[in-house]
Copies of this chain bind each other. A is one copy, B any other.
């Protein structure tokens, strides 16, 4: 431990103006905990909603936001058996979800929500809530995994079974979507990517998209998806928006199709017409990240497949407000803060 000083970005209230850098004491790990010197922290859109006060109105202050970090273990509690000093780890965001079913009440132990966030020099993980970072990834790349990659992986490889040759429609080109695109390719799925930008769609094609749809020039993107699939519809759609967009998703789905609800970028409601829902035997599933075992399986796959996360932009530790503002710009991939 080179220093006893622990810098953090702390919210004293809602709004970017009330987020400021402070200096505090280094946390002490309990018997089953790891003290970790962070190397990089990635942002998710929900971090902006939390800073703005939209997502968790009942937050108590001061509060350090963000959930995704990679770092090096600098000390371990007396009872720790799963890890040792010097290892590079990622935090498991839903800390009390090791495997199988989620805890009955979610988010009682979630990083950057009910537990402190990651924008600090030093953070603490329970030894049961950490995983080794994939060796082939840089710190910047590894920091992008805990929410974005695991959400895509869980929807595509855990909550359902990927069947090679089938189609998946991925909305947008943010962090979750590009991981989904890379996994789709690795699983032998045909990925259709939607975006409002031809330039982003071009980049998605280079990452392996089978087909693309510009929903600005083709607002009835569900019809476009049906055309691309010979009228049969898409087998799986990752819903990032909600509201009327989810209605289009339903109409673009094949018989026995699946809609995974993983984002809430748009409306706060889901609406579906009931007759096609029954006739096509649609499955709609709400998802929230994933468990630690799936995180471990995903990291193994990322190593085996040589997947490299797509990073939109890297900011320094002093540039956190700029990074949070950049989230609004519709990045292509992940935004990461280097914390060293």
Contacts and interface: CB of A to CB of B under 8 A. Distances in A.
A31 interface: yes
B166 A300 contact: yes
Contacts of A287: 278, 281
A205 interface: no
A270 B305 CA distance: 34
B297 A165 contact: yes
Given A183-B164, A291-B100, A293-B100, A273 B277 contact: no
Given A164-B187, A187-B164, A274 B268 contact: yes
Nearest to A77: B31
Contacts of A79: 30-32
Interface string A283-297: 111111001010001
Given A269-B272, A271-B271, A274-B270, A106 B280 contact: yes
B278 A288 contact: yes
Interface in A78-100: 79, 98-100
Interface residues of A, number: 68
Contacts of A186: 164, 188
Contacts of A255: 101-106
A55 to B, nearest CB: 9
Contacts of A189: 304
Contact of A107 (B105, B107, B279, B293): B279
A301 B273 CA distance: 31
Contacts of A271: 269-271
Contact of A99 (B99, B165, B232, B282): B99
A262 interface: yes
A269 B264 contact: no
Contacts of A163: 157, 297, 301
A264 B268 contact: no
Contact of A281 (B31, B264, B286): B286
A188 B188 CA distance: 8
Given A106-B280, A261-B277, A162 B165 contact: no
A303 B210 CA distance: 13
Given A30-B31, A99-B101, A164-B183, A275 B268 contact: yes
A287 B232 CA distance: 19
23 contacts: A30-B79, A31-B31, A31-B79, A99-B99, A101-B255, A101-B293, A102-B256, A103-B255, A128-B128, A162-B164, A163-B297, A165-B303, A187-B187, A188-B188, A188-B304, A189-B304, A190-B304, A264-B278, A269-B273, A270-B273, A279-B286, A281-B287, A284-B285
